[in-house]
């Protein structure tokens, strides 16, 4: 089972990957939205913002998110680490229910290029 530190490192790596992206991925990552990433097996939530093509983690809370973010992710720590390392395909994990993504319809259309 991934640790809190490994999950935080995975989010930092994802942020770096988004910042280095080109084309449609860079455009999708250029949103300015509140973001939460709930790690279900650790019962914690990372909260922050997606802005300027980066994910900025601002806080970590025990349990579910305190406030409803504009973009909400939920998954196990192992799945987060595997996705960022390229071992788990996000689209397949989302389609199978291993990863949950909730956002407004417009944001979902823009984020689909990240899949």
Query: What digits encode the pLDDT tens for the residues 29-48?
Result: 678 999 999 999 999 999 99
Q: Flag the least confident range among 44-48, 75-79, 105-109.
A: 105-109
Three-state DSSP at 103 gives strand
> In angstroms, rounded to a whole number, what is the distance separating the alpha carbons of residues 28 and 114?
7
For the record, the structure tokens of 13 come out as 């790596």
Q: For the beta carbon of residue 47, count every other beta carbon within 10 angstroms.
A: 19
pLDDT in tens, 93-103: 999 999 999 99
Region 4-114: CATH code: 3.30.1050.10
**Domain spans, the chain:** 4-114
pLDDT at 107: 87
Question: Does the structure show a pLDDT above 80 at 113?
Answer: no
- Return contacts of 44-51, CB within 8 angstroms, 24+ apart: 44/4, 44/7, 46/7, 46/8, 46/11
């Amino acid at each position: 089972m991934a640790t809190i530190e490994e999950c935080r490192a995975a989010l930092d790596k994802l942020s770096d990957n988004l910042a280095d992206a080109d084309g449609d991925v860079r455009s999708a990552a250029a949103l300015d939205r509140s973001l939460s990433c709930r790690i279900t097996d650790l019962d914690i939530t990372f909260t922050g913002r997606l802005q300027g093509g980066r994910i900025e983690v601002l806080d970590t809370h025990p349990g579910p998110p305190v406030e409803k973010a504009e973009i909400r992710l939920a998954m196990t720590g192992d799945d987060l680490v595997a996705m960022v390392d390229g071992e788990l395909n996000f689209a397949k994990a989302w389609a199978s229910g291993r990863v949950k993504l909730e956002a407004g319809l417009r944001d979902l259309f823009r984020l689909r290029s990240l899949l």
